Structure 1
């Protein structure tokens, strides 16, 4: 599997990718080729404080490259100037990447943060599955918020076609996943019949395809609130969500639920775009 790993060159990003949590989990899902990408924004010009690392960004990428190479991955580095999310998704499309990884915290000397807008905009425009990895605060005891990226996956579904596309990504995590939890949130104007039976059918597919049992649960209330509560209840390390698709403006309509889970949650989030958007 070939992936694009977006980095802002910060110590936090280096620490996160150096953890066995990151390296082992990527290896376990079959990643062999890593493309490290860092982007210098257009609004940064030479002569500004902090530009020394920007003008030699490729040199700054060497420690991170060495982290992946020492773990046995084939690594290429890419330095670009422009709008971060556009260059990241552009590299992923051109390279035929099967996954993009973006950290959800950290800042470089250029203040090019992969925190809010970049991660959100990559999520809205990507035609590739995207992992938003939570990097721990500076005073934390560990580099990442959740150990073992894909060990316990929460899959909320509304039984839509887009959710089905995300569900079909699950078997690709087989080597790193020990437990899967399936969730449906019943809303006020819910017209879905027999959601527990439908979840049970999906659980049977998980057992057949991945060789592990899947828990099921039906909750009632606000969809985002209930997803976040279920993450805590089951101890999920990654939440897998499908996104809604593209508009005529060629902008990915991430969807209020997916976007809110990314913005408000404290869990790693794996977003899978609909089949029509994938290249």
Structure 2
């Protein structure tokens, strides 16, 4: 597997890339090659007197390369120019990445509504599964919030094809997973909806749980009622998983500006990591 790791050479991205436990988790799910990518924003002029931004970025990537190679990975580095989330998606497609990793310090009051950060833009537009690695906020030398990326997973499902695609990620995540909590939220519009006999949400969760238990993953299930995003976040607070696993419906014109989807809310507001699985890439 190939992973794209995005970095702006900040303390937050350094915490993600240089954490030995996080690197070990990536190795356990099958990652063998890491593409380190940094993007020089298009509004930074290459001809700024006395400053060679691309050379500085390359020196920073070389430092990270040594750490990641020492952990046993093959490493390729990329310094590119343009809009960060667009260039990261371009490179992910070019190198046939299996997932992307980006560090995020989390939310601010403004970010709860208006999308501004690279992590939030990637969450709306990513072409491959995206791991948002949550980093401590408001400290000079931050660390990751959850070192073991996939040890304890909270999987949120509405039984859609998008959720089914996210569940399929367990086929490789399971190699680093010890425990899983499967959650379905019945919203008010679901109450009274019909369904086939014997296939209610509890039974459908139990069926998925049996699959994980056959893989040696200790699994529990929970059916909640209420607003999906709020209930999933409440479940995260109660369970404190390493990562919330959720499927995405993909891009829309509205979500290019505002985070309105359940998956967008989870990326924006979750305390720990989020693993977001998008629709398949167009061929």
Tell me the TM-score range normalised by the shorter chain: 0.7 to 0.9
| Closer/same/farther in 2, CA of residues 186 and 51 from structure 1, 3 Å limit | farther
The separation in 1 between residues aligned to 2:194 and 2:87, in whole angstroms, is 40
Contact kept, 8 Å, 1:123 with 1:254, in 2: the verdict is no
The separation in 2 between residues aligned to 1:128 and 1:244, in whole angstroms, is 13
Contact kept, 8 Å, 1:6 with 1:38, in 2: the verdict is yes
1:35-74 aligned at under 5 Å gives the runs: 35-46=35-46, 51-74=51-74
| Closer/same/farther in 2, CA of residues 171 and 71 from structure 1, 3 Å limit | same
Q: Which residue of 1 aligns with 2:29?
A: 29
Aligned with 2:60: secondary structure? helix
1:82-161 aligned at under 5 Å gives the runs: 82-105=82-105, 116-137=116-137, 139=139, 143-161=143-161
The separation in 2 between residues aligned to 1:242 and 1:255, in whole angstroms, is 14
Q: Which residue of 1 aligns with 2:275?
A: 270
The correspondence for 1:207, drawn from 192, 205, 213, is 213
The separation in 2 between residues aligned to 1:152 and 1:50, in whole angstroms, is 48
The separation in 2 between residues aligned to 1:123 and 1:37, in whole angstroms, is 17
| Closer/same/farther in 2, CA of residues 141 and 122 from structure 1, 3 Å limit | closer
Contact kept, 8 Å, 1:35 with 1:75, in 2: the verdict is yes
Moved more, 51-60 or 4-13: 51-60
The separation in 1 between residues aligned to 2:36 and 2:57, in whole angstroms, is 11
Q: Kindly state the Cα deviation for residue 167 of structure 1 after the two structures are TM-superposed.
A: 0.4
Q: Which residue of 2 aligns with 1:258?
A: 263
1:226-269 per-residue CA deviation (whole Å, 9 max, x = no partner) reads 111111211211011101135599x7x98610001111121211
Q: Which residue of 1 aligns with 2:224?
A: 219
The correspondence for 2:247, drawn from 242, 247, 258, is 242
Contact kept, 8 Å, 1:162 with 1:243, in 2: the verdict is yes
The correspondence for 2:201, drawn from 182, 186, 195, is 195
Contact kept, 8 Å, 1:182 with 1:216, in 2: the verdict is yes
Contact kept, 8 Å, 1:53 with 1:60, in 2: the verdict is no
Q: Kindly state the Cα deviation for residue 76 of structure 1 after the two structures are TM-superposed.
A: 0.5
Unaligned runs of 5+ in 2: 107-114
Could you state the TM-score of these two structures normalised by the residue count of structure 1?
0.88
Aligned with 1:101: secondary structure? strand
1:36-91 per-residue CA deviation (whole Å, 9 max, x = no partner) reads 00000111114669945544311121111111011010000000000101110100
Q: Give the RMSD, CA atoms, in angstroms.
A: 2.6
Which runs of structure 1 show a deviation greater than 2 angstroms over 4 or more consecutive aligned residues? 46-56, 137-142, 245-249
The separation in 2 between residues aligned to 1:202 and 1:134, in whole angstroms, is 27
The separation in 1 between residues aligned to 2:144 and 2:95, in whole angstroms, is 27
